[in-house]
Amino acid sequence: MPRVRLVICTMTLLLCACSDLALDPSSLDGTYRGIFTITHGNGLVETGSVTFIFSGDRYSCMPEKQYLPPSGAGCFQLIGRTMKLMDTVAHTAEFDWTLILNGAFSFTYDGVHLVLVQQDEQHQRHRLIELVRQ
């Protein structure tokens, strides 16, 4: 009986430890295409096609429609189930810079599908980025 308990405890610890393992940023390396959706506080929903490229701890973002989302590039960090984007591109002044993809996004990743979600309380926006590895 003690042996069975030991095996069960060991398996439980292994499962719990594995579920929280941090991803290495390079595990995302590649090109991803998908849909960007932003829902504004007034209920307006805008969508557009987007391409992300990840390489090491760097990323670039290219929209199909101008500013949906704004193009950008920079570095990112993975902390648990959070991806922090830090845009380092020089942007022109003719659009709302608060639309630039920056800050913490919760994410899920299964090796093919990458989904990023950001609830921007300050600007009353919800961002959803659904990507598929190419």
In a domain, 37, yes or no: yes
Nearest to 65 by CA among 52, 43, 47: 47
Q: Is residue 9 assigned to a domain? A: no
CATH number at residue 81: 2.40.128.280
8, part of any domain: no
Q: Is residue 5 part of a domain?
A: no
Cα–Cα dist 78/103, whole Å: 12
Can you give the pLDDT of all 134 residues of the chain as single tens digits? Answer: 544 443 343 333 333 333 445 789 999 999 999 999 999 999 999 999 999 999 999 999 999 998 899 999 999 999 999 999 999 999 988 888 889 999 999 999 999 999 999 999 999 999 999 999 99
Domain-located, residue 6: no
Expressed as residue numbers, the domain containing 101 is: 23-133
pTM for the whole structure: 0.81
Pairing of β 125-133 and β 113-120: antiparallel
Establish if 16 belongs to a structural domain.
no
Question: How many structural domains is the chain composed of?
Answer: 1
